[in-house]
Chain A
Amino acid sequence: MSLSTIGLIFLRLGTLAFGGLGATLALIEREVVDRRAVLSRHDVTDALTYTKVLPGSTAVQVVAYTGWRLGGWSGAAIATAAFLLPSAVLMALLAAGYAGITDSPALLGVRQGVLAVVVAVLLVTMERLARPLITGWLPVVTGIVSFLLVLVLSISAVWVVIASGVVGLVTDRSRS
């Protein structure tokens, strides 16, 4: 498949992929499996399985994985860039617009209301992420200790996450 076709496919996906990973997967399936039949449904499932264990945004990684299957390294690069372009442009425009309205008192209430909802949505996200992880005391302790280390002692979040990964490695080794 030509690189320009890959670019066009993923540009479309990037414009339509409202709603995160689920929407992205559904769109990829419809485009490359149903409409163009260049990959099988099984390939898309594989893409999800193998990228889920990687750190970073899974939706982008499914795109990169699929792009590689369609056109190697350059296919992966084109697919990812095209997929991100629409939302990146939109975000930059919003950032530019936001700087202009920051000081308007009429919109202070709007910003406060949105912020309250953001807190609520993040709490729900936290709960969704946490629930499958609670498999014993260790993950619970790791989560709480990480929370406190960053909140109270202001330790860099990156180091806390890496240290917890190392704890995961060590406990896995001692188990086997």
Chain B
Amino acid sequence: MPLVERAAVHDTAWLTTSTFGAAVAFSYITPGPVLIIATFVGFHVAGVLGALAATVGAFIAPWALATLAAQQVKRFATNRRLSAFGAGAAPAVVGVLGVTVVSLGREAFPSWPYVLIAAVAFGLARWTRTHPALLLVFGGVCGYLLGL
């Protein structure tokens, strides 16, 4: 997801930060993987064909890798180089996710009450098993009341 944010907001300016924020929210609400956010970006940029192209593009590599893995199970699972690469790259992915959080955070808090909303949502997400979709609805309702 942070790679999508970098590509769609930062590198190409296809989406504004706040539109990307909404796309993230939608990707939590819809079933299936969060990477489905690619469909939103594709549609936003180029309509139905864009959505199709972005969805296929986002999932073709993971799909091919998984299918290959299924075909060559034993050889793949014991591939030490692959897991060393993965272990090295994982912390970088978390770091890049941090950049996404910072760029969303810059626009997320126009006033103090929104910080409070985020703090409550953080607490609920961190220490309870509340579904993210519920938290997003909570945020939307609070924001609506604040905007009245």
Contacts and interface: CB of A to CB of B under 8 A. Distances in A.
Determine if chain A interacts with chain B. yes
Interface of A: 14-20, 24, 46-47, 49-51, 53-57, 59-62, 64-65, 67-69, 73, 76-77, 80, 83-84, 86-88, 90-92, 94-96, 98-99, 102, 106-127, 129-130, 133, 139-140, 142-148, 150-151, 154, 156-158, 160-169, 171-173
Interface residues of B, number: 97
Q: Is the interface of A mostly helix, strand, loop or mixed?
A: helix
B87 A120 contact: no
A161 B93 contact: yes
B13 interface: no
B125 A116 contact: no
B121 A91 contact: no
A84 B118 contact: no
B136 to A, nearest CB: 5
Interface string B18-52: 11011111111011111111011001100010010
B92 A60 contact: no
B97 A122 contact: yes
Interface of B: 2-3, 6, 10-11, 18-19, 21-28, 30-37, 39-40, 43-44, 48, 51, 55, 59, 61-63, 65-67, 69-71, 73, 76-77, 80-102, 104-105, 107-110, 114-115, 117-119, 121-122, 125-126, 131-133, 135-136, 138-148
13 contacts: A51-B66, A51-B69, A57-B59, A60-B35, A87-B32, A94-B40, A95-B40, A113-B144, A114-B139, A115-B104, A120-B125, A133-B91, A165-B92
Contacts of B135: 117, 120-121
Nearest to B84: A172
- Among B80, B89, B142, chain A packs the most CB atoms within 10 A around the CB of B89
Given A94-B26, A111-B22, A116 B121 contact: yes
A99 B19 CA distance: 9
A61 B97 contact: no
B18 A91 contact: no
Contacts of B44: 95, 98-99
B98 A168 contact: no
B90 to A, nearest CB: 5
